Structures are given as structure tokens and as C-alpha cells.
Amino acid sequence: MSGFAALVARDLRLVWRRPGDVAVVLAFFVVATTLFPLGIGPEANVLARIAAGVLWCAALFAALLSLDRLFAADFEDGTLDLLLLAPWPLELAALAKCCAHWIVTGLPLALLAPFLGVAFGLEPGVLLALAATLLVGTPALSLIGGLAAALTLGARKSGALLALLALPLCVPTLIFGSGAVEALATGGDFGAHLAVLAALALVALATTPWAIAAALRQAGE
Amino acid sequence: MASFPLEVADLACRRGGRKVFERLSFTLGSGELLALVGRNGSGKTTLLRALALLVRPEAGSIHWQGKDVRAEPEAWRGRLAWLGHLEGLKGDLTVAENLLAAERLRGAPPAENRLDSALVAFDLPPLAARPVRTLSAGQRRRTALARVVLTQAPLWLLDEPLNALDAPAQSAFRTALKKHLAAGGLAIAATHADLGVPGRTLELA
Amino acid sequence: MADLHFLANPARFRRFSQRVLPSLAFATVLMLAVGLYMALIQSPPDYQQGDTVRIMFVHVPSAWLAMAGYALLAGLGASLLIWRHPLAALMARASAPVGAGFCAVCLLTGALWGRPMWGAYWVWDARLTSMLLLFFLYLGHIALSRAYDEPERGDRAAAILALVGVINLPIIKFSVDWWNTLHQPASVARLGGPSIHPSILIPLLWMAATLFLLFVLLVLLRTDTEIDRRRLENAELQA
């Protein structure tokens, strides 16, 4: 486990040295969500109706945007070889990388989303629900996106390809994430949606580290 | 059987449908150095990566003290110190941070007390607090070599260790390598230049 | 699986496919002629939908084959990653566009059928949406397998993607069903026997068998081409 913690700590320290990279992702999230009222029109009831979906989609895009450097930086400077050669399971290293990514992307996105929700006219309870769904759901996005990042390591045009691979796999998370918020707003069963969302995150947690490790090994060959 | 710590038998590798080498066999004992020589593209790097299990060989076996290393890959990786053609350093971390982070990534106990001697071996103390991105190619190479020393692994796998090193740095490398071999360590190095340390040579066609 | 191991060698596969292809092509054409007669002329029009119901004879088997094709990709991916069968990579490369093609046929015929049925070419019906996502998964597989300068790397990356995709397909299907439950329940694959009339069921199964043969034929042909292409590239490397 010490290697796992060391890898998370190293990645967080690297982000700390260049906080601008995270700031750009969060700025994208803010700007992208702001475009929807401008494109659709400022009608309050329409905005409140689409808010959950828009914020979830924007969070998904923001998370994916930041992912193409997740393994590429290590691949380019040779530290990926050191991870491959570390005497503990590569699956844990994959998990550590995604974990660090979530701390610097998923977590701030979830904390920022309620403030943007205010601009869409959401009720306080719904704002909390939005943050809760993003907290539970974004780990799945980091893991699935991490897999896409590992698969596209060294590929031509990896950025667009990454999104093409990750987006269909993120659909269930998106459906239940925004669905949960909508359930709360329309008197549906919020708890059931959130439980399914948590289950989806657990499935991603249980399956993707192995696939990421396999992808990293073949990238190292 | 286990008279040599490292026994490689009938190793064959294929890259992109092309045979790189085949039927490669050698043994390496405690305190021995093996220099891999051969032209560009003769498979020196591929052999090093195959030994580290980074590349899956098409055929053959690698035994360490009589045991197939593929049976316990994690234990095997723990016995390796690696220097690739890429240094494996993070530009935004300082020299000291890079070395310590690499040790921690291996799950090793805190290396602060061993850090100084590794830095001194390659004349790095004045650079210890500098971010690696501000270093020259030779200084980075020295940092990567200090990482190899810090690892304290029995088998060094080095890809062109002398690359970008000036004369004093080359001699520092020789001293470190001799010390490693004298302590019973093993080393395999792909190289174009003469390493300047007595050892066996394997020529790849 | 053990009996199919002899096919893992591309040269042997080549001899096998050369022997099988002509008769397979003949059988496919023959069955297609009979099947089209059964589907377009012999079977009765639906009392509600009229002649548009005949779209089903292509639409439904295409959906089945698109799903089976993805399962095939996953199987080939496992075979490549576990046993390193060289042929599995070539066959996956050959069959992904075929599966995607059937998926596209399913979506297009679905749209054509949707126009008279629902009054729109596209509605966000659960099954069509699942098919669309399957089509995206196919696109990702095709793009990934061709995104590397070293084809072997693309093969292995796509193999991992296919395995992850096949695990996620039921989850995606479940999510989309949850999201929208408008479509009539699946009536052919239901346990306890099909509930649709034999006059429609028989041509449907016949067309399914025909399109299955067409699928196999296309995959074999394209695999042959891939073997040739890979040999040519390797010959250039050796030269």
C-alpha cells in the first residue's frame, strides 16, 4: 500500500506545482455550462428542467479533457517504465493514478457544480443532490476515462479517440447521475438512483484497474 | 543448477512481425558485468526490456537462482534497477524529490538517509534542490544513475548508461558500477562505447 | 475451442477458407433468394402495419448479428490476449467493420420502419438507442485498432476495449431501458416459445440464418485480405 500512497502523493504534488492545469479544466466546466443559457434562452423553467443534464454532460466533458495527459506524461518521460517495474501490482498503480485524477478533477467539479446550478435556478435541495451525485459518479468517470487514456497511449490523434472510446462507456453513469437529480426534482426515488450510481462506480472500480494495467503493459512493450 | 544467479536460455523476441533475436542464451554470476553490443536495431534495448519482463518473449526462459522469474514477477521486479533511454524523471520535481519519489514508488522504506551518498556519487548535491526541467541532458542522466544506485537492487539493467555523460561523470559511473559489482551485484548494460569496467561481452547480430 | 486451434495458424486458415469460400458464397446467395421470396412475397402483411412489417425480416436479424458480432470481437480479444493467437487479431480487425455494418443496417431500417410506425425517422426508443451506443462501441474499436503505427499495438488495445465493452453492454442496455421503456418487449427471444405466428416466424428465422451466413462469408473474406495485407507489410519490414 505504501507504493499506492506514494504514487497518489507524487501525482498530487505534480499538480500542485502546476495548478493552472486544473484551473483550466474547471474554467472549461464553467464556460461550457454558461453557453447553454446563451444558446437556449434564459427562460427559468426550461433552464431548471435541463440543469442536471447540462451540468452532468459538462462535467463529463471536463473530466475527459483532462484525462489525455493522465498516462501520456509518464509515457513520454519514462516514468511509466518505473511504474511497470515497481514490485507491487500494476492494477494498484492504475487505481492510484485514477484516484489522484479524481481528487484534482472530480472532487472540485462536484463542489463547483452547485454554484453553477444556482445560475440555472435550482432549489437548494436539488443543488445538494447534484453535488452528491457528482461525488458518487465522478470516480466512475475517472476510472473509465483512465482506461481510455491508457488504451490510446501512443496512438495518433489520441485526444479525440479517447473521447470516442470513453463516452459510450460513460452513458450509464450519465443516465443515473442526472436521472437522480431529476428524480428528486420531480418527486421520484432519489435514493434508488443514487444507489445504482454507486453500484456503477463500484463496477468500474472492480473492472477497470485490470483493464488499465493490461493496456499499460501493452503500451510498455 | 543455481550456480549462476541469472540464467537465460533460448530467448527469442519478435517486434512487429520481425524476429529481433532468437536462441539467445547466457548466464551471469555474482559480481559480473555483461555488456550488450551490436548495431542500431540489433535488439539490445529489446533484450533489456525482455529481461525486465516489459516485453513478452516469444520463447525461452529467464531463471534467477534456479527459479523462473515469471512465476513471481513482482519479486523479480524488486530485484531490478532500471535505466532506460528515457530517464524516468519528472521535470517539475527537484532532483532530490525525484530520487525519493522513485524509491517510495518501489514501496521501499524511506530513503532520506541513503540519499546523500547516492547524490555525492554523481556530484549532484549542488543540484539537489533544482527542478529537473532546468537541468542539462548530462545532469539528468546523472540523476537517473543516482536513482539506480539508490535502488540497491542486485541486478542493474542499463540502456546506454554513458549517453550524454562528460568525462568526470563517466568516471563517477565506473566507480559506482565497480562498487556495485564488488558487493556481489550483477549488471547488464547495452552500450556503444567501452564501459571501462572489465566484464563479458555479448554481441547481438 | 481446442478443435479450432488448428485455425490459429494463418497459413492453415488460408487453405481452409479457400476451400470453404466458394460453396459458402453459393449457399448464401441461394438462401438469400429463397429468403427474400418468403419475406417479401409469401409472408402475409401485418393487419396493423401492412407491408412495412417486412422491414423486420432484415431489421431484427441485423440487430442479432450486430450483438453477436460484438461478442465475437470480445472472444477474439480474449483469444489474442490470453493465447496470443495471431489469427485472432486479424479476424477481429476483419469482423469489426462487418459487425458495425450490420449495426448500421439495423439503425437505418429502424429509422425507415419508424417513419410509418411512429411518424418520425428517429425516436429515442430504448432498443434503438442501445443499438446506437453499440454502433459507437464498434466505431471506437475500429478507430482504436487502426490508430497505431504498429498494427500489433492497435490489435491488443482494441482487444482490451472489446472485453471491457462486452462487460459494459448489459449495463448500458439496462441503463437505457431504465431511461426509456417505450418499446414493445422482445417477443422472439422470450422463454417458453415464440409468441408470433409461424407465417412470420419461419421467414424471420430463415433470414436470420441467411444473414448469419453472409456475416461469416464477409468475415472470412476480409480475414483473408487482412492476412495478405499483414504478410505484405512484414515482407516490406524484412526487405
| A73 CA: distance to closest CA in chain B (Å) | 9
Q: Of A18, A77, A86, which is closest to B105 when you measure between CB atoms?
A: A86
**DSSP letter for each residue of A36-47:** HHHHH---HHHH
What does the pLDDT profile of chain B (205 residues) look like in tens digits?
446 789 999 999 887 667 888 889 999 999 999 999 988 888 899 999 999 999 988 889 999 998 999 999 999 999 999 999 899 999 999 999 999 999 999 888 777 888 999 999 999 999 999 999 999 999 999 999 999 999 989 999 999 999 889 999 999 999 999 999 999 999 999 998 888 888 899 988 7
| Cβ-defined contact of A171 to C157 (cutoff 8 Å) | no
C-beta atoms of C176 and A171 within 8 A: yes
Closest partner residue to A221 (CB to CB) among B56, B86, B106 is: B56
∠ CA A69-A73-A75, rounded to 5°: 115
Q: Is residue B54 domain-shared with residue B3, that is, in the same domain?
A: yes
Q: How far is A129 from chain C (nearest CA, A)?
A: 19
A2, A81, A86 ranked by CB distance to B84: nearest: A81
pLDDT number for residue B112: 80
Q: Extract long-range pairs of A12-16: CB within 8 Å, 24+ residues apart.
A: A12/A100, A12/A103, A12/A104, A13/B93, A13/B97, A13/B101, A14/B90, A14/B92, A14/B93, A15/A100, A15/A104
Chain B closest-CA separation from residue C37 CA (Å): 48
Our count of domains for chain B comes to 2
Q: Which domain holds residue A147?
A: 2-220
The grid cell for B179 is 562498487
pLDDT given for residue C184 in this prediction: 46
Give the model's confidence band at A1: pLDDT under 50 very low, under 70 low, under 90 confident, else very high: low
Nine-digit cell at C66? 450486430
Amino acid occupying residue C148: Y
Q: Which of B52, B88, B106 sits opposite A78 (nearest CB)?
A: B88
- C88-115 as b/e: b if 16+ CB within 10 A: bbbbbbbbbbbbbbbbbbbbebbeebbe
Could you tell me if B74 and B162 lie in one domain? yes
Chain C residue with minimal CA distance to A157?
Answer: C147
H-type alpha helices, chain B:
44-51, 73-78, 95-105, 112-121, 137-151, 167-182
Which chains touch C (3+ CB pairs under 8 A)? A, B
Look-up of cell digits 554481441:
B203
* A80: confidence class by pLDDT, cuts 50, 70, 90: very high
Question: Could you tell me if B87 lies within 8 Å of chain A, comparing CB atoms?
Answer: yes
pLDDT for res A95? 96
- Spatial distance between the Cα atoms of C52 and A48, rounded to a whole number of angstroms: 41
Chain B within 8 Å of C85 (Cβ-Cβ)?
A: no
- The percent of residues above 90 in pLDDT, for chain C, comes to 50
Q: Does B163 touch chain A (CB under 8 A)?
A: no
- Break chain C into its structural domains and give their ranges: 22-181+198-231
Interface test with A, best of B90, B97, B163 (most A CBs within 10 A): B90
Considering only CA atoms, which of B81, B68, B93 is closest in space to residue B1? B68
Say if residue B2 is in the same domain as residue B75.
yes
Rounded to the nearest angstrom, the minimum Cα separation between A212 and chain B is 15
Q: Compare all CA atoms of chain C with the CA of A165 and give the residue at the minimum distance.
A: C140
Q: Would you say residue C3 has pLDDT above 60?
A: no
pLDDT of residue A134: 96
B203 touching chain A per CB within 8 A: no
Residue B30: CATH number of its domain: 3.40.50.300
pLDDT tier for residue C237 given thresholds of 50, 70 and 90: low
pLDDT-derived band at C7 (thresholds 50, 70, 90) equals: low
Answer yes or no: is pLDDT of A91 > 70. yes
Residue contact A89–B74, C-beta within 8 A: yes
Cross-chain residue pair B16–C230, CB shorter than 8 Å? no
What is the pTM assigned to this prediction?
A: 0.90
Structure confidence by residue, pLDDT tens digits, C141-199: 999 999 998 888 999 999 999 999 999 999 998 888 888 753 344 444 433 445 677 77
Amino acid B1: pLDDT: 42
If we measure between CA atoms, which residue out of B164, B122, B120 comes closest to residue B142?
Answer: B122
Do B2 and B101 lie in one domain? The reply is no
| Domain that residue B182 falls in | 1-79+154-205
Q: Is A188 on the interface with C (CB under 8 A)?
A: no
Q: Which residues of A touch C164 (CB under 8 A)?
A: 147, 169, 207-208, 211
Does residue C19 surpass a pLDDT of 60? yes
Asked if the Cβ–Cβ distance from B106 to A220 is below 8 Å, we say: no
pLDDT of residue B26: 92
What is the total count of domains within chain A?
1
> Using one digit for the tens of pLDDT, what is the confidence trace for B71-98?
999 999 999 999 998 999 999 999 999 9
Q: How far is B16 from chain C (nearest CA, A)?
A: 6
Shortest distance, CA A138 to any CA of chain B (angstroms)? 26
pLDDT in tens, C100-142: 999 999 999 998 888 887 788 888 888 888 999 999 999 999 9
Give the model's pLDDT for residue C166: 94
pLDDT tens figures, A160-201: 899 999 999 999 999 999 999 988 888 778 899 999 999 999
- In chain B, which residues have their Cβ closer than 8 Å to the Cβ of A81? 54, 82, 84, 86, 88
- Please give the full DSSP string across chain A, using - where no structure is assigned: -HHHHHHHHHHHHHHHH-THHHHHHHHHHHHHHHHHHHHH---HHHHHHHHHHHHHHHHHHHHHHGGGGTTHHHHHHTHHHHHHTSSS-HHHHHHHHHHHHIIIIIHHHHHHHHHHHHHTT--HHHHHHHHHHHHHHHHHHHHHHHHHHHHTTT-TTHHHHHHHHHHHHHHHHHHHHHHHHHHHHTT--HHHHHHHHHHHHHHHHHHHHHHHHHHHHHHH-
Q: Are residues B201 and B135 in the same domain?
A: no
Q: Which of C82, C149, C237 to mutate to test the interface with B (most CBs of B within 10 A)?
A: C237
State the nearest Cα–Cα gap between A37 and chain B, in angstroms. Answer: 39
Kindly state whether residues B72 and B101 are assigned to the same domain: no
Residue A30: pLDDT over 80: yes
Which of A147, A156, A167 lies closest to C164 in CB terms? A147
